[in-house]
Amino acid sequence: MDKLKFTEVGKKIKNLLKNKEFNEFLHPSEIANYLKKLKKQDEKAYYNYLKKLPKDVLGDVLLELPESMKEDAIKHLSVEKLAQAVEELESDDATDLMKDIEEVDVAKERQVHANLSEEDKEEIEKLSSYEENQAGAYMQTEVFDAKLEETIEEAIKRLREKKEQGELENIHQVYVVDDDNHLKAVIPLEDLIVFDFNREFKDIIKNKEYEPIFVKATDPIAEVIKKFEDYDLPVIAVVDDLGRLLGRITSDDVIDLIEDQATEQIYNLAGVQDEAEEEDDIKIITKKRALWLFLNLWTAILASFVIGLFDETISKYVALAVLMPIVASMGGNAGTQTLTVVVRKLALGEIDFENAKEALKREIIVALLNGMIFALVMGAIAYVWFNNYMLGVVIALAMIINLLAAGFFGAVIPLLLKKIGSDPAVGSSVLLTTVTDVVGFFAFLGLAKIMLIDS
């Protein structure tokens, strides 16, 4: 007997599965959340309920599951069940799910593909032909379009029929096209319903406010995101090089992209791989993180080597050992501030290598001002703490030098990585930490040797 029979999660899913209007009660993301809880409590019940999910929600639920659970579900579901799930999805989501299946099991993906209708095969193959960073890879081919000579009444009647048949979802606009499918105008539905239904579209689009905003299928996805942000769009049309309507990209996909990019940047800055963190296997996560920690170890050894060059200086002036971590720490924190700002601006397209002069100048000025402020503060603290005026001067000068280095390299490192085609977030923090530690220790201990020991 199912031990989850009387639990809240088990009863909720069981009741939903019995209801014919299953997908009206919960959003796929909510169903996915229930399944996540269920898997932790009883895997057998989880697989049982997963296989019983109606075909019209199964695909959406699979796409909402974490990567590791999605891969596991794909392994356990039959080819027929997966094919049904794919066919119920909109073209962009169907393509995504087919890619997920292919990553898990190439042979199974081919079997699922063979079970699809010719129309679905054609759409998926077309969308799969685009590169991952191109707009076409994220579009869906289901659109509501209308011909120039068509009346509003005829178009709305056709829309009603398509909605009843489940062919269209989340319609915001009508795309007006000519006989060769060239995009001529985009009219919001809220405007469309106030016009005389006997009017033809060719008369309405004379108003320039309906001139279309669109992207080409081969445009970089970053350009699509920028247009959504600049124009506050819920959806954008996608055309080919000749201006013919191919499909549309909706805001939910763009939100997912922005979220993925932000997550990737945060993880990369910390030396963590976002894909690895989705894994349930602790060994895989440990291995991925260990690679970055190993790199950090060598940078720490390098910093320790610099300290070792001044071991005699430290042995003669023990106060240096107390104060030197402060210089490196302040440089590291200041550099991280600059690094984060520059990486984010690069991601948003606000700066690049060609126009980075002003950004670099700004960060150096900020670093210099902060260096002078904290040089005075730390110099005074060192003087009072150890009753040594020259020690205060040494740490003040070292603070200025290291914060300047932090500001300069915090801006230059991501710019250089971007210039050579690498992700500016990947490796930047490790390189910057090395610079601030080495420069901080070398400046502080070197100045101490010259001004306190040798003088």
Q: What CATH number does the domain containing 43 carry?
A: 1.25.60.10
- Looking at the fold, whether 283 and 321 belong to one and the same domain comes out as yes
Residue 181 belongs to domain spanning: 145-257
Place of tokens 């260990």: 290
- Looking at the fold, whether 295 and 420 belong to one and the same domain comes out as yes
**Token pair for 439:** 């420069």
Q: What digits encode the pLDDT tens for the residues 234-246?
A: 999 999 999 999 9
Find the range with the poorest average confidence among 19-28, 330-339, 383-392: 19-28
pLDDT tier, 383 (very low <50, low <70, confident <90, very high otherwise): very high
> For residues 4 and 396, what is the distance between their CA atoms, to the nearest angstrom?
66
Q: What digits encode the pLDDT tens for the residues 256-265?
A: 888 877 777 7
Mean pLDDT of the chain: 87
Q: What are the distances in angstroms from CA 95 to CA 59, 66, 123, 168?
A: 11, 18, 8, 17
- Which residues, listed in sequence order, are joined to residue 185 by a DSSP beta bridge? 176
Q: What digits encode the pLDDT tens for the residues 334-347?
A: 999 999 889 888 87
Residue 140 within a domain? no
Is a pLDDT exceeding 50 seen at residue 24? yes
How many domains does the chain contain in total?
A: 3
Length of the chain as a residue count: 455
Q: What CATH number does the domain containing 243 carry?
A: 3.10.580.10
Stronger pLDDT, 10 or 181, i.e. the higher one: 181
Is a pLDDT exceeding 80 seen at residue 295? no
Q: What is the pLDDT of residue 3?
A: 45
Q: What is the pLDDT of residue 281?
A: 63
Is a pLDDT exceeding 50 seen at residue 4? no
Mean pLDDT of 347-354: 76
- Looking at the fold, whether 167 and 296 belong to one and the same domain comes out as no
Is a pLDDT exceeding 60 seen at residue 177? yes
Residue 138 within a domain? no
pTM attached to this predicted model: 0.70
- Looking at the fold, whether 166 and 206 belong to one and the same domain comes out as yes
Is a pLDDT exceeding 70 seen at residue 222? yes
Q: What digits encode the pLDDT tens for the residues 419-440?
A: 887 777 777 888 888 899 999 9
Mean pLDDT of 176-197: 94
- Looking at the fold, whether 349 and 448 belong to one and the same domain comes out as yes
- Looking at the fold, whether 202 and 283 belong to one and the same domain comes out as no
Could you count the other beta carbons within 10 Å of the beta carbon of residue 107? Answer: 9
Is a pLDDT exceeding 60 seen at residue 2? no
Find the range with the poorest average confidence among 158-172, 273-287, 380-394: 273-287
- Looking at the fold, whether 249 and 290 belong to one and the same domain comes out as no
- Looking at the fold, whether 23 and 165 belong to one and the same domain comes out as no
